[in-house]
Structure 1
């Protein structure tokens, strides 16, 4: 039985666990002090990072927050444990990004950034070397996904689309740390200085929509992904957990062959 780790045990973590046969994996989930999540029989909840490290998981999946990335992932990499990051917006902090990269390089532990709710990242990586390339990423979600943000601004997107934000990937990651990890995934692939981010609450949106428009000397491209929201959290695409499961499966297959 393979031991795997989780940081957090919310909607995404539960979906990851349920995707693997219960008798194939033993999971150790790092949760907040005082938290008592209901966990399946094959999941052990711990509240100390050293307890997670002592379990020597084959890999750990962060599925909590950008703050959790900063608090726990460097030590996991230092300990030689491959770690997958869902909260890619954490890389908007250049000091943390350098710390993570250095820890991975020094220990040899893989730092894995899955595609999450997106597609087309291979195209963006290909045009990243072109200095004139420009990318526009738009997050377009139904009003339900932005209810709190709209209420804070005294706005409603019940009848018409409302633009909530336009700016840089780093600004988007800081303003919306739980919503716009996809925007920073685009930025990491194409180059941070090439990307403009827009956030729209749209009553006509049928799902969590990601629109990527690219112009460069290599040509033009347009990607549009309409993802069903996760049943447990309308801010998150159901595809996010599926992407993490696929990346984790590939990691285990690769290690099994070595």
Structure 2
């Protein structure tokens, strides 16, 4: 069996972790390439033996079995549509970009035209299988709380007049819908968008964003209630060593999704 061919969009911390794991994977292994904008500052971090692609024509020539987006909302807008139009499956981590209904519709249309598939990673969150199961419940109430330490919200706290180093009590930065949260915090609230897409939608999913000096990690709390029952889920993830706004587990969740994509047995 030949190596599985994968293109990474972007080469930041998450993409680097993914590449490191896939490069040492057992047979059949992976052949990797990276899609970057011309002149990207990330080019210097890409291993010398990994081709750097500069557009959709180069992606088509590489003929990947899977494309993985790990570069932010802008990459979803700029690079993902062309990959879907090529008939490729694209696994995206920046799910928050899909709060834009027009972009989401364009991506779905591109996938239908070209035969591609838009694959959404669970990222730092769990429990999406349960939420999908109850998403059509008549009495569904769904709320998500993000609770992170001040290091994750330093700029936002300063903008509100707080000293991140001296914060003594929790501060609620936001309370509203998943659509508003994803738009306001594109680097932080991809999990809220994932929950909304798995569940009743962006307007019907409530979100609270709390900065808590007592938080030891990035904590995610999901509460769901419907005629089918209730769920209360709490996950405490360690922040990424290179980006406290993101959870360290995100790259592992994407790797698990890659494994499921190629595996003959799929857990739904």
* Structure 1 and Structure 2 fold alike (TM over 0.5): yes
Tell me the number of residue pairs that the alignment of Structure 1 and Structure 2 aligns. Answer: 255
**Secondary structure of 2:138 counterpart:** coil
**TM-fit CA distance, 1:27:** 1.6
**Secondary structure of 2:245 counterpart:** strand
Of residues 37, 45, 48, the one that matches 1:38 is: 45
**What does residue 31 of structure 2 align with?**
26
**TM-fit CA distance, 1:139:** 0.6
**What does residue 62 of structure 1 align with?**
69
**TM-fit CA distance, 1:152:** 1.8
**TM-fit CA distance, 1:222:** 0.5
Report the TM-score, using the length of structure 2 for normalisation.
Answer: 0.90
Structure 1 vs Structure 2 CA RMSD: 1.7
**TM-fit CA distance, 1:22:** 4.1
Give the conservation status (yes or no) of the 8 Å contact 2:138–2:227: no
Report the TM-score, using the length of structure 1 for normalisation.
Answer: 0.93
CA distance in 1, matches of 2:121, 2:193: 12
Give the conservation status (yes or no) of the 8 Å contact 1:133–1:214: yes
The question of 1:130 aligning with 2:137 is answered yes
**What does residue 16 of structure 1 align with?**
18
The question of 1:180 aligning with 2:189 is answered yes
Give the conservation status (yes or no) of the 8 Å contact 1:156–1:162: no
**TM-fit CA distance, 1:254:** 4.3
Mapping of residues 79-228 of structure 1, within 5 Å: 79-156=86-163, 158-192=167-201, 193-228=203-238
**TM-fit CA distance, 1:131:** 2.7
Structure 1: gaps (5+ residues): none
Q: Deviations over 1:12-43 (max 9, x none)?
A: 00010111234832221112321233222442
